[in-house]
Amino acid sequence: MTEILEPTEKNIIKAAKSIRQDGLVAFPTETVYGLGGCAFSEKAVVKIFEAKKRPRFDPLIVHIAEKDDYKLLCRIIPSPAEKLIDAFCPGPLTLVLPKRENVPDIVTSGLDTVAVRIPSHPIALKLIQYSKCPIAAPSANRFGHVSPTQAEDVLSDLGDSVDFILDGGPTLVGVESTVVFVTEEETILLRPGGIPIEDIENVVGKISTKRKMSKLLSPGLTKKHYSPKTPLYIYEGNIDELIEIDRDDYALLTPIPLLVNDISMVPLSQDGDVKEIAANLFHQLRSLERMDYRAIIAIPVKQSGLGHAVMDRLIRASTGTVKIENQKLVFIDR
Ligand code: TXA
Ligand code: MG
Protein backbone atom coordinates (compact mmCIF):
# COMPACT_ATOMS: atom_id res chain seq x y z
CA MET A 1 0.00 0.00 0.00
CA THR A 2 1.22 3.46 -0.85
CA GLU A 3 1.34 5.81 2.11
CA ILE A 4 1.04 9.57 1.63
CA LEU A 5 3.20 11.36 4.19
CA GLU A 6 3.16 14.91 5.50
CA PRO A 7 6.72 16.15 5.02
CA THR A 8 7.62 16.27 8.71
CA GLU A 9 11.21 15.61 9.78
CA LYS A 10 10.18 12.22 11.14
CA ASN A 11 8.42 11.24 7.93
CA ILE A 12 11.28 12.33 5.70
CA ILE A 13 13.57 10.12 7.79
CA LYS A 14 11.06 7.26 7.39
CA ALA A 15 11.04 7.77 3.61
CA ALA A 16 14.85 7.95 3.52
CA LYS A 17 15.03 4.65 5.35
CA SER A 18 12.85 3.12 2.68
CA ILE A 19 15.21 4.47 -0.04
CA ARG A 20 18.13 2.79 1.76
CA GLN A 21 16.19 -0.49 1.69
CA ASP A 22 15.63 -0.32 -2.10
CA GLY A 23 12.13 1.15 -1.72
CA LEU A 24 10.53 3.79 -3.95
CA VAL A 25 9.60 7.25 -2.67
CA ALA A 26 7.83 9.93 -4.68
CA PHE A 27 8.89 13.39 -3.57
CA PRO A 28 8.33 17.02 -4.58
CA THR A 29 11.02 18.99 -6.38
CA GLU A 30 10.70 22.62 -7.47
CA THR A 31 9.78 21.37 -11.00
CA VAL A 32 7.55 18.27 -10.76
CA TYR A 33 7.28 15.25 -8.44
CA GLY A 34 10.00 12.63 -8.88
CA LEU A 35 9.85 8.85 -8.40
CA GLY A 36 12.99 8.16 -6.41
CA GLY A 37 15.11 5.16 -5.62
CA CYS A 38 18.75 4.74 -4.57
CA ALA A 39 20.85 5.37 -7.69
CA PHE A 40 23.43 2.79 -6.62
CA SER A 41 20.81 0.03 -6.19
CA GLU A 42 20.01 -1.83 -9.42
CA LYS A 43 17.07 -3.41 -7.65
CA ALA A 44 15.52 -0.03 -6.85
CA VAL A 45 16.19 1.32 -10.34
CA VAL A 46 14.54 -1.71 -11.98
CA LYS A 47 11.47 -1.01 -9.82
CA ILE A 48 11.39 2.61 -11.06
CA PHE A 49 11.30 1.50 -14.71
CA GLU A 50 8.61 -1.05 -13.95
CA ALA A 51 6.41 1.30 -11.92
CA LYS A 52 6.42 3.88 -14.72
CA LYS A 53 6.27 1.33 -17.55
CA ARG A 54 9.19 3.26 -18.92
CA PRO A 55 11.33 1.70 -21.67
CA ARG A 56 14.81 0.76 -20.47
CA PHE A 57 16.43 2.85 -23.20
CA ASP A 58 15.28 6.08 -21.53
CA PRO A 59 17.92 7.06 -18.91
CA LEU A 60 17.17 8.58 -15.50
CA ILE A 61 18.27 11.80 -13.82
CA VAL A 62 20.31 11.35 -10.63
CA HIS A 63 19.56 13.85 -7.84
CA ILE A 64 22.24 15.01 -5.41
CA ALA A 65 22.25 17.54 -2.56
CA GLU A 66 25.80 18.95 -2.68
CA LYS A 67 27.82 20.48 -5.51
CA ASP A 68 30.77 18.28 -4.49
CA ASP A 69 28.76 15.16 -5.26
CA TYR A 70 29.00 15.88 -8.99
CA LYS A 71 32.54 14.52 -8.67
CA LEU A 72 31.20 11.35 -7.10
CA LEU A 73 29.20 10.52 -10.22
CA CYS A 74 31.00 12.26 -13.08
CA ARG A 75 34.49 11.53 -14.42
CA ILE A 76 34.98 14.95 -15.94
CA ILE A 77 33.49 18.32 -15.04
CA PRO A 78 34.30 20.58 -18.02
CA SER A 79 34.77 24.26 -17.16
CA PRO A 80 31.42 25.41 -18.70
CA ALA A 81 29.73 22.81 -16.46
CA GLU A 82 31.46 24.25 -13.41
CA LYS A 83 30.18 27.70 -14.32
CA LEU A 84 26.64 26.38 -14.78
CA ILE A 85 26.76 24.55 -11.44
CA ASP A 86 27.87 27.74 -9.70
CA ALA A 87 25.19 29.81 -11.40
CA PHE A 88 22.12 27.57 -11.23
CA CYS A 89 22.54 24.71 -8.75
CA PRO A 90 20.50 24.01 -6.70
CA GLY A 91 17.82 24.64 -9.31
CA PRO A 92 15.99 23.27 -12.35
CA LEU A 93 19.10 22.50 -14.43
CA THR A 94 20.36 18.99 -15.27
CA LEU A 95 23.88 18.46 -16.60
CA VAL A 96 24.76 15.44 -18.74
CA LEU A 97 28.43 14.55 -18.17
CA PRO A 98 30.78 11.54 -18.58
CA LYS A 99 29.83 9.00 -15.93
CA ARG A 100 31.99 7.20 -13.41
CA GLU A 101 32.03 3.39 -13.21
CA ASN A 102 30.12 3.39 -9.91
CA VAL A 103 26.93 4.59 -11.66
CA PRO A 104 25.02 1.44 -12.69
CA ASP A 105 24.43 1.06 -16.44
CA ILE A 106 20.72 0.62 -15.87
CA VAL A 107 20.49 4.24 -14.60
CA THR A 108 22.05 5.62 -17.79
CA SER A 109 20.57 3.05 -20.21
CA GLY A 110 24.09 1.97 -21.05
CA LEU A 111 25.27 5.44 -22.10
CA ASP A 112 28.69 6.59 -20.94
CA THR A 113 27.14 9.82 -19.64
CA VAL A 114 24.98 10.48 -16.59
CA ALA A 115 22.37 13.23 -16.05
CA VAL A 116 22.74 14.90 -12.64
CA ARG A 117 20.89 17.71 -10.89
CA ILE A 118 20.56 19.38 -7.49
CA PRO A 119 16.89 20.16 -6.88
CA SER A 120 16.18 23.34 -4.94
CA HIS A 121 13.22 21.94 -2.97
CA PRO A 122 13.93 21.60 0.78
CA ILE A 123 12.03 18.28 1.06
CA ALA A 124 13.97 16.79 -1.87
CA LEU A 125 17.28 17.97 -0.43
CA LYS A 126 16.53 16.51 2.99
CA LEU A 127 15.42 13.20 1.49
CA ILE A 128 18.69 12.92 -0.44
CA GLN A 129 20.77 13.87 2.60
CA TYR A 130 19.00 11.46 4.95
CA SER A 131 19.13 8.64 2.37
CA LYS A 132 22.90 9.05 2.20
CA CYS A 133 22.88 8.15 -1.48
CA PRO A 134 22.17 9.93 -4.75
CA ILE A 135 18.54 9.43 -5.79
CA ALA A 136 17.65 8.34 -9.34
CA ALA A 137 14.29 9.89 -10.14
CA PRO A 138 12.31 10.38 -13.31
CA SER A 139 9.08 12.36 -13.15
CA ALA A 140 6.56 10.33 -11.12
CA ASN A 141 4.01 9.78 -13.88
CA ARG A 142 3.14 6.80 -16.03
CA PHE A 143 5.46 6.87 -19.07
CA GLY A 144 4.14 9.22 -21.75
CA HIS A 145 1.54 10.85 -19.50
CA VAL A 146 1.49 14.41 -18.14
CA SER A 147 4.09 14.99 -15.38
CA PRO A 148 2.76 15.23 -11.80
CA THR A 149 2.70 18.56 -10.00
CA GLN A 150 0.96 17.32 -6.85
CA ALA A 151 0.87 14.19 -4.68
CA GLU A 152 -2.58 13.08 -5.94
CA ASP A 153 -1.27 13.02 -9.53
CA VAL A 154 1.41 10.54 -8.47
CA LEU A 155 -1.12 8.35 -6.71
CA SER A 156 -3.51 8.28 -9.66
CA ASP A 157 -0.74 7.36 -12.14
CA LEU A 158 1.40 4.97 -10.13
CA GLY A 159 -1.09 3.59 -7.64
CA ASP A 160 0.41 1.03 -5.32
CA SER A 161 3.84 0.70 -6.90
CA VAL A 162 5.31 3.45 -4.68
CA ASP A 163 6.07 2.89 -0.99
CA PHE A 164 5.70 6.50 0.14
CA ILE A 165 4.65 9.80 -1.37
CA LEU A 166 5.95 12.87 0.43
CA ASP A 167 3.22 15.46 -0.01
CA GLY A 168 4.76 18.91 -0.39
CA GLY A 169 1.74 20.51 -2.08
CA PRO A 170 1.82 21.83 -5.64
CA THR A 171 5.24 22.35 -7.24
CA LEU A 172 6.36 25.88 -8.03
CA VAL A 173 8.03 25.78 -11.45
CA GLY A 174 5.62 23.28 -12.99
CA VAL A 175 7.79 22.14 -15.93
CA GLU A 176 10.81 19.84 -15.66
CA SER A 177 14.44 20.89 -15.47
CA THR A 178 16.42 22.12 -18.47
CA VAL A 179 18.75 19.32 -19.63
CA VAL A 180 22.10 20.23 -21.22
CA PHE A 181 24.98 18.11 -22.51
CA VAL A 182 28.25 19.84 -21.68
CA THR A 183 31.76 19.38 -23.08
CA GLU A 184 34.77 21.69 -22.86
CA GLU A 185 33.94 22.98 -26.36
CA GLU A 186 30.17 23.28 -26.37
CA THR A 187 26.90 23.16 -24.46
CA ILE A 188 24.00 21.43 -26.21
CA LEU A 189 20.37 21.82 -25.16
CA LEU A 190 18.67 18.42 -24.84
CA ARG A 191 15.42 19.61 -23.24
CA PRO A 192 14.19 23.16 -22.56
CA GLY A 193 12.93 23.52 -18.98
CA GLY A 194 12.90 25.52 -15.76
CA ILE A 195 16.10 27.49 -16.42
CA PRO A 196 15.58 29.60 -19.56
CA ILE A 197 18.03 29.12 -22.46
CA GLU A 198 18.78 32.86 -22.40
CA ASP A 199 19.99 32.61 -18.77
CA ILE A 200 22.28 29.69 -19.64
CA GLU A 201 23.70 31.61 -22.60
CA ASN A 202 24.48 34.54 -20.31
CA VAL A 203 26.85 32.20 -18.44
CA VAL A 204 28.43 30.00 -21.14
CA GLY A 205 27.75 31.88 -24.37
CA LYS A 206 25.76 30.60 -27.34
CA ILE A 207 24.45 27.06 -26.87
CA SER A 208 23.48 24.59 -29.56
CA THR A 209 19.76 23.83 -29.79
CA LYS A 210 19.81 21.51 -32.82
CA ARG A 211 16.93 19.06 -32.49
CA LYS A 212 18.74 16.32 -34.40
CA MET A 213 21.66 16.51 -32.01
CA SER A 214 19.48 16.33 -28.91
CA LYS A 215 17.64 13.29 -30.31
CA LEU A 216 20.94 11.53 -30.87
CA LEU A 217 22.28 12.35 -27.42
CA SER A 218 19.09 11.80 -25.46
CA PRO A 219 17.34 8.58 -26.45
CA GLY A 220 14.33 9.24 -24.22
CA LEU A 221 13.23 12.42 -25.96
CA THR A 222 10.28 10.99 -27.84
CA LYS A 223 8.23 13.17 -30.14
CA LYS A 224 4.96 12.43 -28.35
CA HIS A 225 5.07 12.69 -24.55
CA TYR A 226 3.32 14.50 -21.72
CA SER A 227 0.01 13.56 -23.33
CA PRO A 228 -3.37 14.08 -21.71
CA LYS A 229 -6.01 11.43 -22.51
CA THR A 230 -8.03 14.03 -24.41
CA PRO A 231 -6.33 14.83 -27.73
CA LEU A 232 -4.64 18.23 -27.81
CA TYR A 233 -4.22 20.38 -30.92
CA ILE A 234 -2.10 23.51 -31.27
CA TYR A 235 -4.02 26.41 -32.79
CA GLU A 236 -2.50 27.93 -35.91
CA GLY A 237 -4.32 31.06 -36.96
CA ASN A 238 -5.99 34.23 -35.96
CA ILE A 239 -7.34 34.55 -32.40
CA ASP A 240 -10.22 36.79 -33.50
CA GLU A 241 -11.57 34.00 -35.69
CA LEU A 242 -11.21 31.41 -32.95
CA ILE A 243 -13.18 33.28 -30.30
CA GLU A 244 -16.18 33.42 -32.64
CA ILE A 245 -16.43 29.63 -32.67
CA ASP A 246 -19.57 28.16 -31.07
CA ARG A 247 -18.50 24.71 -29.90
CA ASP A 248 -19.02 23.78 -26.27
CA ASP A 249 -17.55 20.32 -26.82
CA TYR A 250 -14.03 21.76 -27.15
CA ALA A 251 -11.85 23.36 -24.47
CA LEU A 252 -9.59 26.27 -25.22
CA LEU A 253 -6.31 26.39 -23.28
CA THR A 254 -5.01 29.95 -23.48
CA PRO A 255 -2.05 31.88 -22.02
CA ILE A 256 -4.38 34.72 -20.90
CA PRO A 257 -8.15 35.11 -20.41
CA LEU A 258 -10.01 35.79 -23.68
CA LEU A 259 -13.54 36.93 -24.34
CA VAL A 260 -14.97 33.89 -26.11
CA ASN A 261 -18.32 32.99 -27.61
CA ASP A 262 -19.36 29.52 -26.53
CA ILE A 263 -16.17 27.53 -26.28
CA SER A 264 -14.94 26.67 -22.74
CA MET A 265 -11.89 28.72 -21.94
CA VAL A 266 -9.15 27.78 -19.49
CA PRO A 267 -6.59 30.56 -18.98
CA LEU A 268 -3.15 29.49 -17.74
CA SER A 269 -2.48 32.93 -16.25
CA GLN A 270 -4.31 36.14 -15.49
CA ASP A 271 -1.93 38.49 -17.29
CA GLY A 272 0.39 36.40 -19.48
CA ASP A 273 3.12 35.88 -16.86
CA VAL A 274 5.02 32.91 -18.28
CA LYS A 275 6.02 31.64 -14.81
CA GLU A 276 2.36 31.37 -13.91
CA ILE A 277 1.61 29.71 -17.27
CA ALA A 278 4.33 27.07 -16.69
CA ALA A 279 3.24 26.46 -13.10
CA ASN A 280 -0.37 25.78 -14.18
CA LEU A 281 0.21 23.89 -17.44
CA PHE A 282 0.36 20.24 -16.30
CA HIS A 283 -2.28 20.71 -13.63
CA GLN A 284 -4.73 22.12 -16.16
CA LEU A 285 -3.98 19.37 -18.68
CA ARG A 286 -4.77 16.80 -16.01
CA SER A 287 -7.97 18.63 -14.99
CA LEU A 288 -9.11 18.92 -18.61
CA GLU A 289 -8.59 15.25 -19.40
CA ARG A 290 -11.04 14.38 -16.60
CA MET A 291 -13.82 16.29 -18.41
CA ASP A 292 -15.59 15.10 -21.50
CA TYR A 293 -14.18 17.40 -24.15
CA ARG A 294 -13.64 16.05 -27.66
CA ALA A 295 -10.34 17.90 -27.83
CA ILE A 296 -8.25 20.58 -26.18
CA ILE A 297 -7.26 23.48 -28.43
CA ALA A 298 -4.07 25.15 -27.16
CA ILE A 299 -3.07 28.67 -28.13
CA PRO A 300 0.74 28.95 -28.51
CA VAL A 301 2.75 31.02 -26.01
CA LYS A 302 5.57 33.41 -26.82
CA GLN A 303 8.84 31.51 -27.23
CA SER A 304 11.12 33.33 -24.83
CA GLY A 305 12.27 32.52 -21.29
CA LEU A 306 10.15 29.71 -19.84
CA GLY A 307 7.98 29.97 -22.97
CA HIS A 308 10.41 27.61 -24.75
CA ALA A 309 9.71 24.87 -22.21
CA VAL A 310 5.95 25.47 -22.25
CA MET A 311 5.81 25.26 -26.08
CA ASP A 312 8.04 22.17 -26.08
CA ARG A 313 5.62 20.39 -23.70
CA LEU A 314 2.53 21.54 -25.63
CA ILE A 315 3.98 20.33 -28.93
CA ARG A 316 4.98 16.96 -27.45
CA ALA A 317 1.53 16.63 -25.83
CA SER A 318 -0.22 17.38 -29.10
CA THR A 319 -1.87 15.10 -31.62
CA GLY A 320 -1.59 17.80 -34.29
CA THR A 321 -2.63 21.31 -35.22
CA VAL A 322 -5.98 23.00 -35.77
CA LYS A 323 -6.95 25.91 -37.99
CA ILE A 324 -10.17 27.57 -39.11
CA GLU A 325 -11.56 27.32 -42.64
CA ASN A 326 -14.99 28.72 -43.55
CA GLN A 327 -15.72 29.31 -39.84
CA LYS A 328 -15.13 25.63 -39.08
CA LEU A 329 -12.37 23.97 -37.08
CA VAL A 330 -10.06 21.83 -39.22
CA PHE A 331 -7.87 19.35 -37.30
CA ILE A 332 -4.65 18.09 -38.85
CA ASP A 333 -2.99 15.08 -37.18
CA ARG A 334 0.78 14.91 -37.32
O1 TXA B 1 12.72 18.33 -13.38
C2 TXA B 1 13.11 17.22 -13.68
O3 TXA B 1 14.09 17.01 -14.43
C4 TXA B 1 12.33 16.01 -13.12
C5 TXA B 1 12.50 16.03 -11.59
C6 TXA B 1 11.86 14.83 -10.94
O7 TXA B 1 13.86 16.12 -11.28
N8 TXA B 1 12.79 14.79 -13.68
C9 TXA B 1 12.55 14.43 -14.96
O10 TXA B 1 13.04 13.18 -15.31
O11 TXA B 1 11.95 15.13 -15.75
P12 TXA B 1 12.59 12.41 -16.61
O13 TXA B 1 13.15 11.06 -16.47
O14 TXA B 1 11.12 12.51 -16.77
O15 TXA B 1 13.36 13.12 -17.77
C16 TXA B 1 14.76 12.98 -17.86
C17 TXA B 1 15.25 13.35 -19.22
C18 TXA B 1 14.83 12.33 -20.26
O19 TXA B 1 14.41 12.99 -21.44
C20 TXA B 1 16.09 11.52 -20.50
O21 TXA B 1 16.12 10.98 -21.78
C22 TXA B 1 17.18 12.58 -20.25
O23 TXA B 1 16.68 13.36 -19.20
N24 TXA B 1 18.43 11.95 -19.84
C25 TXA B 1 18.71 11.29 -18.70
N26 TXA B 1 19.96 10.81 -18.68
C27 TXA B 1 20.53 11.17 -19.84
C28 TXA B 1 21.82 10.97 -20.43
N29 TXA B 1 22.78 10.28 -19.83
N30 TXA B 1 22.04 11.48 -21.66
C31 TXA B 1 21.07 12.18 -22.29
N32 TXA B 1 19.84 12.40 -21.79
C33 TXA B 1 19.55 11.90 -20.59
MG1 MG C 1 9.28 12.60 -17.49
Residue spans of the domains in the chain: they are: 3-204, 232-333
pLDDT number for residue 292: 87
Any ligand 1 atom below 6 A from CB of 96: yes
Taking CA atoms only, the protein residue closest to ligand 1 atom 6 is 34
Q: Does 3-204 match 232-333 in CATH topology? A: no
Which CATH class for the 3-204 domain? alpha beta
Q: How far apart are CA 123 and CA 247, in angstroms?
A: 44
Lowest-confidence segment of 93-97, 122-126, 175-179, 242-246 by average pLDDT: 242-246
pLDDT number for residue 331: 96
Any ligand 1 atom below 6 A from CB of 150: no
pLDDT number for residue 139: 98
Taking CA atoms only, the protein residue closest to ligand 1 atom 18 is 220
Nearest of 86, 18, 95 to residue 63 by alpha carbon: 95
Atom of ligand 1 nearest to the CA of 221: 19
pLDDT number for residue 218: 73
pLDDT number for residue 217: 75
- For the segment 164-174, the average pLDDT, to the nearest whole number, is 98
Which CATH class for the 232-333 domain? alpha beta
Query: pTM for this one?
Result: 0.96
Any ligand 1 atom below 6 A from CB of 230: no
Atom of ligand 1 nearest to the CA of 31: 1
**Percent of the chain clearing pLDDT 70 (strictly above):** 97
Q: Is the pLDDT of residue 261 over 90?
A: no
The order of strands in the sheet holding 295-298 is: 264-267, 250-254, 295-298, 232-235, 320-325, 328-333
Atom of ligand 1 nearest to the CA of 177: 1
pLDDT number for residue 243: 84
Residues 34-67: tens digit of each pLDDT: 999 999 999 999 999 999 999 999 999 999 999 9
Looking at the CA of 63, name the nearest ligand.
Answer: 1
pLDDT number for residue 225: 75
